Amino acid sequence: MRIDATHKPWMIGTAVAIGIGAVIYLPYAAHTPTPGGGTPIGLMFGSVALGLMIFAALLSLRKRFPIWRIGRAKIWMRAHLWLGFLALPMVLYHAAFHARGGLTAVLMWLTVVVVASGIGGAWLQHTLPTRIFREVPFETIYDQIPVICEQLVAEAEGHAADVTQRLAPATGAGATVVDTLMDLPTMENETEVFRQFFAESVLPYLRQRGARGSRFASRDWVHGRFEDLRREFLPAAWTPLTAIEEICEEKRQLDQQRVLHQWLHGWLLVHLPISAALVLLAIVHAIGALRY
């Protein structure tokens, strides 16, 4: 969800609602000996806050049951963001900015955490898609990343065999009598260096999930290492060697996409359960307040 000009009416409406609440609350708090949730105005603010919480929770139900095509998804998202945010000042007005009792304190802090995590999630959804587009030119469907990584391993192994052949054409697989008679340089030491580098560094990096702790996570380091190899090897081996470098870069970008995707969706692991707990406890609190 992008925070763009379409959010302006919602932002203005939320600010106006907070202002109206302040206009009602300030004289009420000034002329009431003990303002709080048990007073008529306190109950009014509490009812509004509970209604906003329940409405915000309806977004999860709409996503879970997509057959409920009530309103456009983008409008629901905007309403969820701004009306959910509005619940926090309504809760504060309801409690007169004081947490009287254990359940009230828990509800206030849960509201703060839910609103803060919602704002954080909105910021991530606003910024990360642009960052993914800028940093991950090889972006692909997230669920296809493991399959693509397997393909990269196979491609890299093919290019590695090509590098070895080009470094030692007279002795490698496919060598001909002409190659041998021409006495082409074998570059056995360089070939062994490459084989060791590919087997012990490149392949493990391409096969592992992510790039934590790997030097291959640095584009500059990878480019510098392959530049060193190009300076040492025959020009004939540069093309497949560069292809392996490009495969490492694609793997690095896929790892970056995985991390950004996890950030983009991982905040829900905090937001959703705490939101559910908040709504349930708020309903219990409301029922208890009306009964007693």
CA distance 174 to 171: 8
Q: Looking at the predicted structure, is the pLDDT value of residue 99 above 80? A: no
**Structure-token pair, residue 114:** 């839910």
Q: Which residue ranges make up each domain of the chain?
A: 5-137+268-291, 142-264
What is the distance between the alpha carbons of residues 129 and 139, in angstroms, rounded to a whole number?
Answer: 11
Q: pLDDT of 142-154, one tens digit each?
A: 888 899 999 999 9
The yes-or-no verdict on residue 178 having pLDDT over 70 is: no
- pLDDT class for 206, splitting at 50, 70, 90? very high
Which range among 46-55, 130-139, 242-251 shows the weakest confidence by mean pLDDT? Answer: 130-139
Query: Which residue in the block uniquely carries the two structure tokens 């105005």?
Result: 41
274-285 pLDDT, tens digit per residue, is: 999 999 999 988
pTM: 0.70
Q: Which of 60-64, 82-86, 282-286 is predicted least confidently?
A: 60-64
Q: Tell me, what's the pLDDT at 24?
A: 95
User: Which among 96, 48, 82 is positioned nearest to 104, based on CA atoms?
Assistant: 96
State how far the Cα of 33 lies from the Cα of 101, in Å rounded to an integer: 18
175 confidence band (pLDDT: 50, 70, 90) = very low
- Evaluate if residue 223 carries a pLDDT over 90: yes
Cβ–Cβ under 8 Å, residues 134 and 256: no
Query: Using alpha carbons only, what angle is made at residue 151 by residues 147 and 153, rounded to the nearest 5 degrees?
Result: 115
For the chain, the straight-line distance linking the first and the last C-alpha, in angstroms and rounded, comes to: 42
Nearest to 244 by CA among 225, 268, 265, 220: 225
Residue 290 near residue 38 (C-beta atoms within 8 A): no
Confidence of residue 179 (pLDDT cuts 50, 70, 90): very low
Structure token pair of residue 266: 């991982």
Q: Which pLDDT band holds residue 213 (cuts at 50, 70, 90)?
A: confident
Sign of the CA dihedral with 14 first, then 15, 16, and 18 last: positive
Taking residues 113-128, what's their average pLDDT?
A: 89
Structure tokens that stand for 220 in this block? 């500059």
In terms of pLDDT, which residue wins out, 65 or 2?
2
